[in-house]
Amino acid sequence: MKLSLQHFDNCPNWQVAQAALLQALALVGIEDVEVTYRVVSTQEDAEAMGFRGSPTLLLDGVDPFADPDAPAGLSCRVYRTDTGLAGTPTVKQLVAVLNEAQTLRSSN
């Protein structure tokens, strides 16, 4: 499993997302994965990457929270959670996508 956390330098939420991701990995029991971090610096890079805002998590190269209608760019991202809109996915949401990814990997 490959995990990447993309963000821009002044994003107020990427470290919150990082902490939630590390907590979710521990809850799921995934210990042998390295999280890579990528800083998106320019609008051009954001558009070329299809970066939909900061923070963005890629799981095996796929954004599990993707909104195809969201524009690419250097903006703060908003996630729908059980408690309303937030700047990061919840630990519960991250656990769900990690469990789904593990299930898909073991069935292949």
The reported pLDDT for the residue numbered 68 is: 83
Residue-wise pLDDT for 50-61, tens only, equals 999 999 999 999
CA dist., res. 92 & res. 59, Å (int): 16
Q: pTM of the prediction? A: 0.91
The reported pLDDT for the residue numbered 108 is: 65
Give the domain ranges of the chain.
3-107
The reported pLDDT for the residue numbered 106 is: 75
Q: Give the max Cα distance, the chain.
A: 40
Residue-wise pLDDT for 59-100, tens only, equals 999 999 998 888 899 999 999 999 999 999 999 999 999 999
